[in-house]
Amino acid sequence: MLSYIIRRLIIIIPMALLVVTVTWILIRMAPGSFYSSEKKLPPAVEANIKKKYGLDKPVLQQYGILMGNIVRGDFGDSLKYEGQSVNEIIRRHFPYSATIGILAYLLALAVGLTAGIVAALKQNSAFDYGSMSLAMLGLSVPNFVLGPILVLIFSLWLFWLPPARWGGASSLILPVITLSAIYAAYIARLTRAGMLEVMRSDYIRTARAKGLSEWKVLLKHAVRGGLIPVVSFTGPALAALLAGAVVVEKVFAIPGLGNIFIQSIFNRDEPLTLGIVAFLSILIMVFNLLVDVSYAFLDPRIRYE
Amino acid sequence: MEQQQEVVKGASLWRDAWKRLLKNKLAVFGLAVMIIMIVAVTVGPAIIRWTTGYTYDFIPPDGDLIKSFPPSLQHPMGTDDSGRDILARVLQGGRISLMVGVISTLVSLMVGVSYGATAGYLGGKIDNFMMRVVDIIYAIPYILLVIVLLSAFGGQNAPGWIQSISSALGSGQGLSQIILLFFALGLVSWLTMARVVRGQILSLKNQEFVMAARATGVSTPAIIFRHLVPNALGPVIVYATLTIPSVMLSEAFLSFLGIGVQAPFASWGSLAADGIKNISVFPWQLIFPGVTMALTLFSLNFLGDGLRDALDPQTRKF
Amino acid sequence: MARISLNQTFLGTMFIVVSLFLSGCASSASSRYWGKTVAPTDNVLRYISGSEPESLDPAFGTGQPEARVYMALYEGLVEYHPKTMEPIPAIAERWELSPDGTEYIFHLRKNAKFTNGDPITAKDFVYTFRRALSPELASRNANLGYYIKYSEAYNSGNMFVKDANGQFLLAKDFVKETEKKASDTPEAEPEMKPESAPANFGAATEFQSFMNAPERLVVKGSEKERAKQLEADPKLKAAVEGKELVPVTAENLGVEAVDDYTLRLKLYQPAPYFIQLIPHQLFRVVHQPSIERFGKDWQRAGNIVTSGAFMMSVHRPYDELVVVRNPHYWDAGSVRLDAIEFYPLEEQTTMMNLYKGGSVDAIYNHTTPPAWLDEIRKFKSEYQDHPEVANEYYSISVKKPPMDNLKVRQAFSLAIDRFALAQFRKTPKPLSNFTPDGIFPKYDEARKKVYGERLKAENMTVEEWSKGRLFDAEKARRLMTEAGYPVVKAGNGWSCPTFPVDKVTLSYNTAESNKAVAEFNQAQWKQNLGITIPLKNMEWKTFLPFRSGVQYEGVARNAWVGDYMDPFTFLNLFYSPTNDGATGFHDPKYDALLDAANKELDEQKRLEMLAAAEFQVLQEQLVIPLVTQATNWIKKPYVKGMYPNPGTLHAWKFVYLETDPNKWDTNADNLMKESDASVDEQINRLTATMAARK
């Protein structure tokens, strides 16, 4: 197991570099550049800009310099936000996204797991139908609709909570609820499905046959196995949540990393895009590793050699 | 051993499943709504055009009429900011959203399930490699990929072969856009599905029935697709029904980037996105597309649940 | 069946929620203002300023969101008048223009200081100008300074040519080449000065005689470029061969500190409107010692030293930028706000929510969604509607068929009902000209006169002609038929079966308003010409090269916000082959007309020449003009001294918050006409120093 984890950790760095390289190629293929704007630049001005940012060098040389710096952990300065380094921007904005993301995920986990497990145990009951319909509602109301509706009710009609912007715990409530809705719905439905699947399997029957109490069967065996689909979903979902949720950040004007990442792509801000991509790919791979490791804990039959 | 029986009675499996489906009232309801919805979006626009004369892109020439009117007999769902009939737009948008949802989900099912199942069953180095590929694809910024796709294949810059496909299909730009859209959605929608399926397979592959199958010399593909996948079907179907709404919403985002649905065409996602902006002034702009979409997704979901129960051979024992 | 009832419940809930909203709206309608409006308790303006500023360096940031922040942090020689945007004195108490129109002398006030207390002198301005134009800084706005003598040569890294006797070769001996060079510099064209330069305007200095000496020849700095340049011109090649090349340096730039409080600017050519450009962010003064000391970190809080009425306090990117009153500001006594909080936001719904919830006091321009206007306008005191120095139009790809046919272009323009369009978009005004109407009154007059003369031949009055250009479906169909694409009756509408629809698209960049306008125009063409043009929307940076490279077929959405208050900023868009208004058009005669106009010192004559140039653009139908844009923003009634000026750039020191509700704005439409005694008094005090000398 340990050697498996170590092997997986070692491979993360070269994989992240591979992702960065592919991204770099894509950026260079995309039309437009960071300095293009409404006004067409005179050739002299364009030449000055190219020279200043080393874009007049041969492409392969540019790539070499870039990778050399990245390997040393230096992503350079943003092209759009003059004088700000990429590392600094990530450090500054990640905490916002992470706060919202973790809170939303915890809320989603609490609501989703409870609803999913109870619904599975009481299959075809009113609770089952009710909670699953609610989950479906959570899924079919996009967060760009849910957010503004919550704002309308709680900020503009009741004046209870601020409509947008970061500041104090009260400003977190609406974005966290908005963000968690869809994940709670996913988790509820996946948990229910996974639980139903497990409850039918032989080992639960065996456990029951052994005369274990229903609670013990449930907690010790069923939940563990039933969680596998949820866990599979959690890896990418949590990474995406931590990386920032673009829509929620926009609706609530939160200075998170997600929006900055999207903007960096639209701005063709190469260093910033590459920096965030590297950061996110490491995040994703670490989470997926955690997921794979937790499989083994949830289900003793899963083994990594 | 019941697995073996199934293979033998393959033909009757489907008939059984259909019977079980019909017994499930919710699933029947879902099926009925879906059929009505499909019929409505297929013939609806033509009927509206014939009865009231409105189309999804008709903007009245009279400046006084170019604004959002509340629902009336003439416009059962009201009009949007440009004075267009929302009913006509919802029906036209349904064509695109349903097509996008279903096709992309099928892609995600086919690619994701076989990829994930293969990786999970084979395990070891192959599994490791296959899942790392998924990780890499997942980490590459999707928007950037779409922007590049679009500039390389979109519209007038499209290479000859793409243009010839779309002109052969007879609709010029519109179709090449739609093909690009499916491609762009298909690119990523299978990734999480692959992870979900692999997780399931990992936990199933050491169970007795698989060992039995292996011992009796069943070939690897047969073990994966005949024995393992059917047993992982529950989460797969649930996840597939979850994919549909998220794909429909991704479509709205891609339209924003210039891929997919070009104005004046609409989709449910784009109608909802437009509607929410005016929620406090013209609520009908959100309500009607929103309710239509929610109703459809609900129905799809019941149908999905019903299908899963119907197809699951073990349900009978409960 | 449980299912169906659930859906009914769901529908029911939705409707309850909606009726709650409606009742919420209805209750707010009874109040006097839109949304929560309470008298401000602190003296802080909360303003949404658009996207996150690219930089706090005024020479670097190019957009309006940056300009809004720079106007608080930095001050220049002159400032924008809060209502008209005409230049009013700032750090310069007064200025003079030489009779030949090429030399400005600015007299600086002696008490101007940076935020750290250092005095602001003419030397700081020399540094600011040289820095802004240096090739190393690579400012994207540098070309706005190209009017200044040798600035373009310096910014391009070009070289003077010195012969064996130490004499520099002169540009006038190579006229043809300089003309060629001029044609790829959009903003200015070097002009041959007569050898007898006007003697001694202002104090005579050595530098002045260098500036007044005949213009030196410059050749390209990079070897490769130079070889190309010389290859193309044998005469030049022969003359340059074996001569010494001397780089153009910052010291050669036409900017001089005559003494500590006198600054001289020397231009290549007369540019009567250049003073309009001086308040631009590029020319706002920066602090040399802190920039040199901190390098690229000079903009950070703690390091940054600025020159404006406000100074930086807190900067949390993507969240807020707070500026507070600058105690060292020379006019600190008349700065009325304690602080300004700038919120970088772009999401319209979010802005409106914040405003309605009372969390912000004012929002930048083009932000009120048209659909909300009827609702907001019920409250007369908040919505700011005024014409803007900005237009919206469609560029036409004039070199590609079928749009290479003038009649087709005219037909497409005439088939759009601009009155209905303006009614639909609520605030913009229909535009048949290219340069926005009602912004430059003198130019409007000149235009009337020139057009009238041209139209005499066609027996038309200007009014008839302009009105006819706003919408004439009948004529549009006739023109299409004449162009060889007959428009025939088909049922209730029209059809144009022979028109090659696959050769024309309407491309636009992703934006809600662009989409709405494109859909409208598509419907117009469909209804009036029977032609359905496909729409194509694109992400901004993909769209830019697509449009500027004229890769599009048909028409592409375009718009222009004037850089300064002069029609030339619009007409310049069609100047020179590299700057073709994204249409593919180039006509040396048009360029020559603009050149001649800019050399003209008589204002009236100059405007008439510009009008003649505009008439050509219109006659050739290079673009489909749509509307003059409107300011379209809102502010709370207690925000005073902030006006819907044509560029939506506010000189913050005039802005204040009124705590007495009786003095709040009652009708925003009268804002520009009403006088606000306290603001007027401030402006009069400033302009008094200007008048004193006259």
Q: What is the pLDDT of residues C491-507, one digit of tens each?
A: 888 999 999 988 899 99
Confidence check: pLDDT of C274 > 70: yes
Higher pLDDT, residue A55 or C8 = A55
Task: Answer whether C180 touches A (CB < 8 Å).
Answer: no
Chain center to CA of A168:
23
Average pLDDT over residues A163-171: 85
CB B194 within 8 A of CB B115: yes
Confidence check: pLDDT of C205 > 90: no
Share of chain A above pLDDT 90, in %: 33
pLDDT one-digit tens code per residue, C408-442: 999 999 999 999 999 898 888 999 999 998 889 99
Confidence check: pLDDT of C402 > 50: yes
Binned at pLDDT 50, 70 and 90, residue B166 comes out as very low
Average pLDDT over residues B183-192: 82
Which residues from chain A sit within 8 angstroms of residue B308, using beta carbons? 193
Task: Answer whether A138 touches B (CB < 8 Å).
Answer: no
Task: Answer whether C589 touches A (CB < 8 Å).
Answer: no
Higher pLDDT, residue A264 or A246 = A264
Confidence check: pLDDT of B5 > 80: no
In a domain, B177, yes or no: yes
Mean pLDDT of chain B: 79
In a domain, B59, yes or no: no
* Residue C502 confidence (pLDDT): 84
Which residues from chain C sit within 8 angstroms of residue A92, using beta carbons? 317
| A15 φ, ψ (degrees, to nearest 5) | -65, -40
Most confident segment among A295-299, B162-166, C529-533: C529-533
One DSSP character per residue, C50-87 reads ESPPS-S-TTT--SHHHHHHHHHH---SEEE-TTT--E
CB C324 within 8 A of CB C43: no
Instruction: Name the one residue in this structure whose structure tokens are 């397979």.
Output: B201
Confidence check: pLDDT of B47 > 60: yes
Nearest chain A residue (CA) to B116 = A232
Using CA atoms, how far apart are residues A71 and A21, in angstroms rounded to an integer?
A: 12
Q: Domain total for chain B?
A: 1
CB C532 within 8 A of CB C502: no
Evaluated on CA atoms B130, B133, B138, B142, the torsion sign reads negative
**Cβ separation A129–C155 shorter than 8 A:** no
Confidence check: pLDDT of C8 > 80: no
In a domain, B251, yes or no: yes
Q: Identify the three-state secondary structure at position C663.
A: helix
Look at B159-173, B288-302, C214-228, C590-604 and tell me which has the smallest mean pLDDT: B159-173
The domain in which residue B24 lies consists of: 19-47+100-315
Most confident segment among A70-84, B196-210, B274-288: A70-84
Average pLDDT over residues C662-681: 88
In a domain, B254, yes or no: yes
Average pLDDT over residues C483-492: 89
pLDDT one-digit tens code per residue, C130-153: 999 999 999 999 988 998 999 999
Q: Residues near A89 by Cβ (< 8 Å), separated by ≥ 6?
A: A78, A81, A260, A272, A275, C317
Binned at pLDDT 50, 70 and 90, residue B314 comes out as low
**Cβ separation C534–B172 shorter than 8 A:** yes
Pick left, alpha or beta for residue B79 (phi over 0 → left; psi -120 to 50 → alpha; otherwise beta): beta
Mean pLDDT of chain A: 86
Chains with 3 or more CB pairs under 8 A to chain C: A, B
Look at B71-85, B158-172, C261-275, C593-607 and tell me which has the smallest mean pLDDT: B158-172
Mean pLDDT of chain C: 87
Confidence check: pLDDT of B159 > 60: no
Binned at pLDDT 50, 70 and 90, residue C182 comes out as very low
CB C60 within 8 A of CB C355: no
Task: Answer whether C375 touches A (CB < 8 Å).
Answer: no
One DSSP character per residue, chain B reads -HHHHHHHTHHHHHHHHHHHHHH-HHHHHHHHHHHHHHHHHHHHHHHHHHHT---TT---SSGGG-S-PPP-SSSTT-B-TTS-BHHHHHHHHHHHHHHHHHHHHHHIIIIIHHHHHHHHHH-HHHHHHHHHHHHHHHHS-HHHHHHHHHHHHSGGGS-HHHHHHHHHTT-HHHHHHHHHHHHHHHHHHHHHHHHHHHHHHHHHTTSHHHHHHHHTT--HHHIIIIIIHHHTHHHHHHHHHHHHHHHHHHHHHHHHHT-SPPTT---HHHHHHHHHHTTTT-THHHHHHHHHHHHHHHHHHHHHHHHHHHH-GGGGG-
Q: What is the CATH number of the domain that holds B132?
A: 1.10.3720
Higher pLDDT, residue C112 or C101 = C112
Given the DSSP bridges, would you call strands C44-50 and C339-344 parallel, antiparallel or unpaired? Answer: parallel
In a domain, B80, yes or no: no
* Residue A133 confidence (pLDDT): 81
**Cβ separation C139–A260 shorter than 8 A:** no
Binned at pLDDT 50, 70 and 90, residue C90 comes out as very high
* Residue C522 confidence (pLDDT): 94
Confidence check: pLDDT of A18 > 50: yes
* Residue C447 confidence (pLDDT): 93
Closest CA to C147 of C599, C575, C612, C593: C599
Share of chain C above pLDDT 70, in %: 91
In a domain, B212, yes or no: yes
Exposed e or buried b per residue across C659-688, where buried means at least 16 C-beta atoms within 10 angstroms of its C-beta: eeeeebbeebeebeeeebeebeebbeebee
Closest CA to C394 of C511, C521, C538, C223: C521
Look at A197-201, C118-122, C565-569 and tell me which has the smallest mean pLDDT: A197-201
Look at A3-7, B62-66, B99-103, C12-16 and tell me which has the smallest mean pLDDT: C12-16
Binned at pLDDT 50, 70 and 90, residue C12 comes out as very low
Q: Residues near C475 by Cβ (< 8 Å), separated by ≥ 6?
A: C411, C414, C468
What's the first-to-final CA gap in chain A, in angstroms?
7
A216 vs chain C: nearest CA distance in angstroms? 33
Higher pLDDT, residue C383 or A288 = C383
Average pLDDT over residues C645-653: 92
pLDDT one-digit tens code per residue, C13-67: 444 455 445 444 444 444 788 888 888 889 999 999 999 999 999 999 888 899 9
In a domain, B2, yes or no: no
* Residue A240 confidence (pLDDT): 78
Average pLDDT over residues C301-319: 93
Confidence check: pLDDT of C193 > 50: no
* Residue A126 confidence (pLDDT): 85
A72 DSSP β-pair partners: none
Using CA atoms, how far apart are residues C551 and A177, in angstroms rounded to an integer?
A: 46
Binned at pLDDT 50, 70 and 90, residue C554 comes out as very high
Cα-based distances in Å from A259 to A116, A267, A276, B119, C130:
32, 12, 11, 34, 37
Higher pLDDT, residue B231 or C363 = C363
Binned at pLDDT 50, 70 and 90, residue B169 comes out as very low
Average pLDDT over residues C193-199: 47
In a domain, B40, yes or no: yes
Q: Identify the three-state secondary structure at position C103.
A: strand
* Residue B215 confidence (pLDDT): 85
**Cβ separation C296–A80 shorter than 8 A:** no
Confidence check: pLDDT of C76 > 90: yes
C549 vs chain B: nearest CA distance in angstroms? 13
Confidence check: pLDDT of B261 > 50: yes
Look at B189-198, C186-195, C336-345, C619-628 and tell me which has the smallest mean pLDDT: C186-195
* Residue C54 confidence (pLDDT): 92
A184 vs chain B: nearest CA distance in angstroms? 12
Closest CA to C469 of C578, C617, C602: C617
Binned at pLDDT 50, 70 and 90, residue C273 comes out as confident
Amino acid at A240: A
